[in-house]
Chains A and B, each alone.
Chain A
Amino acid sequence: MTSLQIRRPPAPATGAGGRRTNTRSSASRAEGRWGYLFLTPWFVGLVVLTAGPMLVSLYYSFTDFSLLSTPNWVGLDNYERMFTADDRFFAAVRVTLTYVIVSVPLQLAFALGIAVLLNRALRGISAYRALYYLPSLLGGSVAVAVLWRQVFGREGAVNVVLRGLGWENPPTWIADPDFALYTLILLRVWEFGSPMVIFLAGLRQVPQEYYEAAEVDGASPVQRFFRITIPVITPVIFLNAILQLIGAFQAFNSAFIISGGTGGPLDSTLFYTLYLYIEGFTNFRMGYASALAWVLLGIIAAFTAVNFALSRFWVHYEDGGR
């Protein structure tokens, strides 16, 4: 069997080498019409429901809109204030970048590892899958705030264990500005169910015979993981990376619920979207909040674009990468 060879090394994007050259034909024009036909529901949604509100919010970002009264045009004032006169904006950016950079790789690694462990015939495996998914069912439930205090509070489960191990006065993790953000990162990692499920579905796309061939070749489980599993599911890893990246940048619920909507202690959990929400809906500066939103869109888009650019070096598709 030579199936291992089918796993191409990450092919550098060398240009049009394999591009089907006969695309833009009349057949293709027919295909184009089909394409737009398939996209019709999405287009309708875009035009009627999504684009309008997005453009309105873009407009708001150049106004002093206060939610309750009519907006006045203020040009770039909001953007200027953001970058020159708003310490909390920079605090929020710092918090959010830390959160994204730490939580996304951790969560993905965790989700992939557990998905691989759970992707096997083992007694009670579906119960395990459910148990590992269980935390993700909570979502932004109000109960989460209480639960997390129960784990990371002064008298929480973690500290009970630490005291048992001889650490007399461990910090109150959830209320200490040095640690509060990291408890929220753990919360995100704990709720790793969604990427795990996506990985599980992705693992179904790995042809079984690849493994069989590898076993014949004497590859160890670790080798099989890195030489077969990982290469085949790169599109799914990429998908999860993008989705989690966007999700982490927009994280709101956990900080909102656990800090009681303040981002405290000492702004240590002031997530970007939480700050945006505070500005828009507590301080009634919707114009400024809209500007914040569009800057965030810019940041996310930049991160996403970089990821897409990098993806050509490591992601390969079964469809030939078209």
Chain B
Amino acid sequence: MAILEHSAPASAREDAAPVPTRSRQRPRLTLRRVVLQLFLAAGALAMVYPIIWMAASSLKPENEIFRSATLLPEIWQWQNYIDGWNGLREPFEVFYLNSFIISALAVVGNLLSCSLAAYAFARLDFRFRTLWFAVMLGTIMLPYHATLIPQYALYFELGWVNTYLPLTVPKFLATDAFFIFLFVQFIRGIPRELDQAAKVDGAGPFRTYALIIFPLLRPALVTGAIFTTIWTYNDFFSQLVYISDTARYTVPLALRMFLDTTGESSWGPMFAMSTLSLLPLIIVFVLFQRQIVEGISTTGLKG
């Protein structure tokens, strides 16, 4: 695999004094900025229109949702939120808490295990590295439906069914190889001179990983944290298969309980809770994305 092969001569990098990050100039072309603002705003509106529609529907009575052509409700049905929150066999805070627990564990697991593996793939030289890298990528190429049955049998043998273990333990064992690859690519964007310097200072691989790579990998780690949070939070299928106690239900499982294609669906409460369920994710995103952009930039260490 070319990724691990040599493709360019060693960098002819110049050593320059670190410069402070984000030395932005004051805007000069205000017209351009206004146009940009308008463009971004129009784009954002088009992007979120369906979600606005969802939020609006969450305030409509059931029989208005599908028949009314107007965006805004004729009758504001705040009751949908109350019905939604309390409408299932557990109040919604239970589902939120469950989802948070699983997501948090998954984030910790993914960041640790995948960054360790990624460091090895990106920086260390060992036998069969290319082979293992290919195997690693191969594990994300098989559709999960194909491995579901044997995996279920395995977790059942382990006694893990109807616990959160099948949803969290694998994350600590770097089974989300997606993130390994993500981190590998970012580590490879970090100049190797930094490790060499650490090596000269007597740091072994682990200290190099912990003190140099891990901090510099921050934008990628934050990215990984965002994705893990969102994907775990939204991962309906494995939660469906492994969890059967309603007290252990997560948000997506709970949301489906509002719908019943062969019986009665509660669309209003479903939309209400769907809208609400986006809030934690939005908060996570807003807090974390700032970390991507405003975190320690590798810029200062480059050039």
> By the criterion CB–CB under 8 Å, are A46 and B303 in contact?
no
Query: Given A53-B154, A147-B51, A209-B303, 9 other A-B contacts at CB below 8 A?
Result: A32-B124, A38-B209, A42-B173, A53-B147, A121-B24, A142-B259, A201-B292, A202-B219, A304-B141
20 examples of A-B residue contacts, CB within 8 angstroms: A17-B6, A31-B124, A31-B125, A31-B205, A32-B127, A39-B121, A46-B136, A53-B151, A138-B51, A139-B230, A204-B295, A205-B219, A250-B143, A276-B143, A281-B145, A308-B1, A311-B3, A318-B11, A319-B187, A321-B7
Please tell me the size bucket of the interface on B.
35 or more
Q: What chain A residues lie within 8 Å of B227 (beta carbons)?
A: 194, 197
Please tell me if A216 contacts chain B, counting CB pairs below 8 Å. Answer: no
Among B2, B44, B138, B274, find the residue whose CB has the most chain A CB atoms closer than 10 A: B2
The chain B residue with its CB closest to the CB of A28 is B125
Complex CA–CA separation, A304 to B178 (angstroms): 14
> By the criterion CB–CB under 8 Å, are B141 and A41 in contact?
no
Question: Given A126-B286, A134-B51, A204-B297, does the pair A39, B5 have CB atoms closer than 8 Å?
Answer: no
> By the criterion CB–CB under 8 Å, are A205 and B186 in contact?
yes
Interface residues of B in 246-303 (CB under 8 A from A): 252, 255-256, 259, 261, 267, 270-271, 274, 278, 281-282, 285-286, 289-290, 292-293, 295, 297-299, 302-303
The chain A residue with its CB closest to the CB of B280 is A137
Complex CA–CA separation, A143 to B129 (angstroms): 43
**Which B residues lie at the A interface, using CB under 8 A?**
1-14, 16, 19, 21-24, 33, 36-37, 39-40, 43-44, 47-51, 53-54, 57, 69, 112-114, 116-117, 119-127, 129, 132, 135-143, 145-147, 149-151, 154, 170, 172-175, 177-178, 180-182, 185-192, 204-206, 209, 219-220, 222-223, 226-227, 230-231, 234, 236, 252, 255-256, 259, 261, 267, 270-271, 274, 278, 281-282, 285-286, 289-290, 292-293, 295, 297-299, 302-303
- For the residues of A in contact with B, the DSSP-based class is helix
Please tell me if A198 contacts chain B, counting CB pairs below 8 Å. Answer: yes
> By the criterion CB–CB under 8 Å, are B142 and A42 in contact?
no
User: Using a Cβ–Cβ cut-off of 8 Å, how many residues does chain A contribute to the interface with B?
Assistant: 122
Question: Given A11-B7, A122-B33, A236-B189, does the pair A286, B149 have CB atoms closer than 8 Å?
Answer: yes
Interface residues of A in 98-126 (CB under 8 A from B): 114, 117-123, 126
> By the criterion CB–CB under 8 Å, are B145 and A276 in contact?
yes
User: What 0/1 readout, one digit per residue, does chain A (259-273) give for beta carbons within 8 Å of chain B?
Assistant: 010000000000001
> By the criterion CB–CB under 8 Å, are B125 and A32 in contact?
yes
